Structure 1
Amino acid sequence: MATGPRRTGGFRVTAKKLTTSAMIASFADPGQRTTKAPFGHALTRLAEQRPEIVGLSADLAKYTDMHVFRDAHPDRFFQLGMAEQAMLGAAAGLAEVGLVPFASTYSVFATRRAYDFLCLDIAEPGLNVNVVGGLPGLTTGYGPSHQATEDLAILRGLPGLTIVDPCDSVDIEQAVPALAAAPGPTYLRLLRGAVPTVLDEYDYRFELGKTAELRTGRDVLMISTGLMTMRALTAAKELEADHVDVAVLHVPTIKPLDREAILRHAKPDRLVVTLENHTVVGGLAESVASCLAFAGAGTRIVPVALPDEFLAAGALPTLHERYGLSVPQIKSTVLKELS
């Protein structure tokens, strides 16, 4: 019999054995290099240098990699149970007395359920609280109750909030200390478990609020964020066989957006494609489009994003193919636009 949809812990229970479910399925490609729990280990290392770092969880420490911090610093970890609003309120109180909280839960609960607490308890007073949201976008097969496909749209309008959507383990490890050092509230779209390691091959350094040109190309510019940057890099390499030269601009910080870099790279002589693990409404595509429109740039952009609908449940590879996030679908979109 399956466990309930709210707190499964990532397992399906049967009369005979436990088997891993779609809840915490990995999106890593077969044979891809991965790093285990990069967020948990990065936070633990940071806490060894900064005694004011504390961690909070809403009954999901193991499934947001906060358990690594909990085990290393049990006296600085707070378990709030199934109460996301209370967790963010407690994090605000801890920040008020000079501590630097990292509060972790699933993205759907941090954004849909606890938005008012994030807004008025944390963002309005400008507190240094770092909200860590697991299972962002289409990174779980559990359906609309757990797929945070609209979290960026919900949070982009919140004044003073920094939003980071990391590509891989390298991004996460470098982003954690940067977020702790940021003066106001932050939201991190967490990739958890065995996270692919990609950006170390591109001489990459995370810089809050800045983009990174990972690849140059004359025909197409891919502007990507989150896990879609690793898909963009793979698609760009494979498109060489079709004699298509693709540049990749990684956007790890959604807010504040590096508008100057986007305007510099998005020129009318190249096809501009945005790629994001988020609904086409209110995320990277619309951020880039508004950036270009407000500057008077007439560049057309093609979005690769999730549709404006509630998504199906199922296996992640099947869902990514169905909703256009797979490498073959990205290549097909580019070739169709160039034909």
Structure 2
Amino acid sequence: MSELKPIATRESYGNALVKLGEAHKDLIVLDADLAAATKTGVFKKAFPDRHIDCGIAEANMAGIAAGLSTCGFVPFMSTFAMFAAGRAFEQVRNSIGYPHLNVKIGATHAGISVGEDGATHQCNEDIALMRAIPGMVVINPCDDVEARAAVEAAYAWEGPVYLRFGRLAVPVINDEASYKFEIGKGITLREGSDCTIIATGLCVSGALEAAGILEKEGISAQVINIHTIKPLDEELVIKAAQKTGRVFTVEEHSIIGGLGSAVAEVLGEKCPTPLKRIGINDVFGESGPAKELIHKYGLDGEGIAAVVMKG
């Protein structure tokens, strides 16, 4: 992993928007009274005439974003994942997804790493909700380098994109000079022969830590970073399953409907393989320090390795 200081991907989101805004005059950012938290405030400071605060009215914000997209703009609507995917689901589905409009959804504060805000704000269902919308691209970057690249790729993509960002500062895994982001293409971070760990988002760093722990126990674990949940890199998933014969998925999301489900669907239909999903096991989160919650729910290196060793 890089020696760079850990950074929250929500910070990366704000910084990427400013860079894109400098090059593209058609980019407009919308927020719902959370610019300081979503980090779109930096865009507002740089381009005040292209930032719209819609107030605490997320559903209305989705409609505004939809309208702007029909006028030639590329809107990024930004709020917490709980509100973007949860509160505004109907408007995202019907006003953005159904007409397949060119709207980008920047959803921050996803998963249990929201920490002390507790279960009401820890959205562990957003990937499942967005995956179910026809034509919606779903991206969950693992670090600063990947998050900034994902925002650029989302801007260039024609159609709706859901981008998931976190509140907690996470290690920088990727080398910016050599990193290449491509929607729908996973990345093999570590080769292995005994099992495959497929991870997404902040769990990617935990998967790499787990592989290091497993190596000491004589277990060779392949680690794959799936930043795009939809469209999923089916070819890479199948190839890995055929190679190692055992697959584990890891996500800061419910095991229902997220990465684990996406991988299970592919393997079930095309390459039946023993699979264990590691994530939030059909429960709500709870209030507490983010890192302690990640440990409690078994999403750190120690927890992931323990599941793999059990088989």
1:323 aligns with 2:297: yes
How far does residue 298 in structure 1 lie from its aligned partner after superposition? Answer: 2.1
How far does residue 201 in structure 1 lie from its aligned partner after superposition? Answer: 8.0
1:184-239: CA deviations, max 9, x gaps?
Answer: 10100013474531112894321111111111011121111111111111211232
CA contact (8 A) 2:196 2:244 kept: no
1:251-283: CA deviations, max 9, x gaps?
Answer: 100111111111111127432111111011111
User: Structure 1: how far apart are the matches of 2:167 and 2:149?
Assistant: 15
Q: How does 1:1-339 map to 2 (within 5 A)?
A: 33-35=5-7, 37-141=11-115, 142-192=117-167, 194-200=169-175, 203-267=178-242, 269-295=244-270, 297-337=271-311
Q: Which deviates more from structure 2 when the two are superposed, residues 320-329 or residues 275-284?
A: 320-329
Give the number of the structure with larger relative contact order, counting CA–CA contacts within 8 Å between residues 6 or more apart: 2
User: Structure 2: how far apart are the matches of 1:162 and 1:230?
Assistant: 23
Q: Which deviates more from structure 2 when the two are superposed, residues 151-160 or residues 185-194?
A: 185-194
SS at match of 1:139: helix
SS at match of 2:264: helix
CA contact (8 A) 2:109 2:166 kept: yes
How many residues are paired up? 306
User: Structure 2: how far apart are the matches of 1:74 and 1:196?
Assistant: 31
User: Structure 1: how far apart are the matches of 2:92 and 2:176?
Assistant: 36
How far does residue 166 in structure 1 lie from its aligned partner after superposition? Answer: 0.4
Distance verdict in 2 for CA 1:41–1:195, change over 3 Å: farther
SS at match of 2:99: coil
1:296-334: CA deviations, max 9, x gaps?
Answer: x22011111111011221112221122111211111111
Q: Which deviates more from structure 2 when the two are superposed, residues 61-70 or residues 231-240?
A: 231-240
User: Structure 2: how far apart are the matches of 1:168 and 1:293?
Assistant: 30
User: Structure 2: how far apart are the matches of 1:194 and 1:336?
Assistant: 30
**1:273 counterpart letter in structure 2:** F
**2:99 counterpart letter in structure 1:** P
User: Structure 1: how far apart are the matches of 2:125 and 2:168?
Assistant: 22
Q: Which deviates more from structure 2 when the two are superposed, residues 196-205 or residues 176-185?
A: 196-205
SS at match of 1:34: coil
CA contact (8 A) 2:196 2:241 kept: yes
How far does residue 32 in structure 1 lie from its aligned partner after superposition? Answer: 6.7
Distance verdict in 2 for CA 1:334–1:202, change over 3 Å: farther
User: Structure 2: how far apart are the matches of 1:334 and 1:51?
Assistant: 48
User: Structure 2: how far apart are the matches of 1:202 and 1:302?
Assistant: 34
User: Structure 1: how far apart are the matches of 2:4 and 2:175?
Assistant: 13
CA contact (8 A) 2:241 2:273 kept: yes
How far does residue 180 in structure 1 lie from its aligned partner after superposition? Answer: 0.7
Q: Which deviates more from structure 2 when the two are superposed, residues 196-205 or residues 72-81?
A: 196-205
Q: Which deviates more from structure 2 when the two are superposed, residues 46-55 or residues 233-242?
A: 233-242
- Greater helix share, 1 or 2? 2
Q: Give the TM-score, by structure 1 length.
A: 0.87
- Report which of the two structures shows the higher radius of gyration computed on alpha carbons: 1
**2:5 counterpart letter in structure 1:** R
Q: Which deviates more from structure 2 when the two are superposed, residues 55-64 or residues 258-267?
A: 258-267
User: Structure 2: how far apart are the matches of 1:202 and 1:95?
Assistant: 33
Q: Where do 5+ consecutive residues of structure 1 fail to align?
A: 1-30
